[in-house]
Amino acid sequence: MFAAAALALLVTLLLVIVRAALGPSVFDRVLAANTIGTLAMLLLSVFGFMTGRPEFLDLVLVYGLLNVIGTVAVLKFFRYGNLGDDGDPAASSEPPPRAGT
Amino acid sequence: MSLFIDILSWASLVAGGLFCIVGAVGMLRMPDFYTRMHAASVVDTLGAGFILFGLLLQAGFTLVAVKLLMIGALLLFTSPTAGHALSRAAFERGLKPLLADEAKS
């Protein structure tokens, strides 16, 4: 029965990858990447139970933390143009496109 | 009692898989970015919730169950945060909702 859940998760992963490849805007791709991260977490935990090694859940925790940090980092990059913005206008060659928060 | 828990856990796993597929089909078929986000949230809440609940029933009262609960809490906190940041970034970038013009008039 774990195999059925893993198969459903793989089908879901395939459909989401199709959306990431099609996605007209960059935000569609970021959304698909975020969903792929969630699905990888679920697939890892189901796979760990399927092979009788629930220690995979530690990897799932780390993967979830990396997933949200990656999503927020990519969004910040697309909003400000760089990742290390400390508010100093001389540091960046170009002012941020949207200054208001 | 063990059989009952097994049946409940299997039903929960299959329901989680179905909800994941439904969310992915919605992500493919929805016409707009914001509606696609709506469909993607199904995977993060109902799909992940049902699958983690099914695994939780298989784990019993062990450390594995605590880890599963922590994964569920992590998803519960990070998924709305990422969704909020994503929709805000898309809206400030100028991505209009599909029916914005009809709603104004």
> Looking at residue B72, what is its pLDDT?
92
Residue with the larger pLDDT of the pair A78 and A14: A14
> Looking at residue A36, what is its pLDDT?
93
> Is the confidence at residue A79, as pLDDT, over 80?
no
Give me the residues of B, 6-45, that contact A with CB < 8 A: 9-10, 13-14, 16-18, 20-21, 23-25, 27-28, 33, 36-37, 40, 43-44
Question: If pLDDT is split at 50, 70 and 90, which confidence band does A54 have?
Answer: confident
User: What DSSP assignment string belongs to B5-24?
Assistant: HHHHHHHHHHHHHHHHHHHH
Range of the domain at B12: 2-92
Nearest to A75 among B59, B67, B85 (CB): B85
Which H or E run includes B1? Answer: none
Q: Which residues of B touch A9 (CB under 8 A)?
A: 17, 20, 51
Give residue-wise pLDDT tens across range B7-65.
999 999 999 999 999 999 999 998 888 999 999 999 999 999 999 999 999 988 889 99
In a domain, B100, yes or no: no
SS (H, E, C) B30-96: CCCHHHHHHHHHHHHHHHHHHHHHHHHHHHCCCHHHHHHHHHHHHHHHHHHHHHHHHHHHHHHCCCC
Report the gap between the CA of A29 and the closest CA in chain B (Å): 10
**Measured on CA atoms in the order A7, A9, A11, A13, is the torsion positive or negative?**
negative
Domain definitions of chain A by residue range? 2-80
> Is the confidence at residue B105, as pLDDT, over 70?
no
> Looking at residue A88, what is its pLDDT?
53
> Looking at residue B48, what is its pLDDT?
92
Q: Do B16 and B47 contact (CB within 8 A), yes or no? A: yes
In a domain, B29, yes or no: yes
Amino acid letter for position B75: L
Number of domains in chain B: 1
d(CA B71, CA A67): 13
The length of chain B in residues reads: 105
Residue B57 at interface with chain A, using a CB cutoff of 8 Å: no
Distance of CA B98 to the CA centre of its chain: 23
